[in-house]
Amino acid sequence: MSALPGRVWFVGAGPGDPELITVKGRGLIERAGAILFAGSLVNEAATRWAPPGCVVADSKDMTHEQMVAWLTDQAARCGTVVRLQTGDPALYGTLIELVQPLDAAGIPIAVVPGVSSAMASAAAAVESFTLPEVTQTVIFTRVEGRTPMPPGESLAELAAHRCTLCIFLSITLLHRIEAGLRDAGWPDDAPMLVVHKASWPGEERIVRGTLATIKQQCREAGIVSQAMVIASPALGARGWAELTKSKLYDAAFTHRFRRGTPPP
């Protein structure tokens, strides 16, 4: 029994591939006395580095109160407790909901960031969220389901910026995504990308389409969960004949590491 409460570490497990967890996150797993992982979303293989004797539990059947009780009990027993969350703990997780009662109990906490499924989806499809003179802004959002959206954050309002949209937790609401983008003036041929289980070994699937076709394509592919929906004017740029290049590497561009050479 620890004389003082152990620290609870909220660790981003990454998007699915256990090798995409950070070095720091893996190190914490290797010395953890207890690990609570979100089994509905986190690949259980991420717990494979747990030491002998480590208590490993799956939270998918737990209520909020049960999770808090489990973390509290384990923090009284061992010095390092890991709450392994999907992607990054700061995005669409229950970080603050779990931290508040731990704070109230005097249990120290810390957070280790993780690779988001948004980044893993772009990597899987070899896409860039930003391109010079195309878009320099990325919005992470979701569409309204059982959880309402705050005022000013409807998809139509956000899509009016015509930048890159990474739409989480919404694969079953593609009809609402389509309606929101259309309300914002996006055309039928606007490129769309859906990545199911980005980075999961042997399970990742990539669907490319347009605003007019993506819903039917996903229906035919049977994609109904764990998928990132991306709408962006930068999609498909790998195949464009012309790109506006970054000024940073332009031979004529001067910066503090290199003096530019004016064109002849």
Domain end position, chosen among 90, 112, 134: 112
Residue 259 lies in a domain: no
Q: Are residues 107 and 178 in the same domain?
A: no
Contact 205, 196 (CB under 8 A): yes
Angle at which helix 174-183 crosses helix 214-221, to 10 degrees, equals 170
Q: Are residues 143 and 231 in the same domain?
A: yes
Q: Beta strands 109-112 and 138-142: pairing type?
A: unpaired
CATH of the domain at 35: 3.40.1010.10
Q: Are residues 150 and 195 in the same domain?
A: yes
Residue 2 lies in a domain: no
CATH of the domain at 230: 3.30.950.10
Domain end position, chosen among 83, 112, 141: 112
Q: Are residues 227 and 125 in the same domain?
A: yes
pLDDT tens sequence for the chain (264 residues): 445 689 999 999 999 999 999 999 999 999 999 999 988 778 787 889 999 999 999 999 999 999 999 999 999 999 999 999 999 999 998 999 999 999 999 999 999 999 999 999 999 999 999 999 999 999 999 998 888 899 999 999 999 999 999 999 999 999 999 999 999 999 999 999 999 999 999 999 999 999 999 999 999 999 999 999 999 999 999 999 999 887 766 666 667 677 777 776
Q: Are residues 108 and 143 in the same domain?
A: no
**At which residue do the structure tokens 């890991």 appear?**
82
Please enumerate in sequence order all residues whose Cβ is within 8 A of that of 85, keeping only pairs 6 or more positions apart, or say none.
Answer: 10, 11, 12, 13, 38, 42, 93, 95, 114
Q: Are residues 122 and 143 in the same domain?
A: yes
- List the helix and strand counts (H, then E) for the chain: 7, 10
Domain extent, residue 134, equals: 117-237
Q: What predicted TM-score, i.e. pTM, was given to this entire model?
A: 0.90
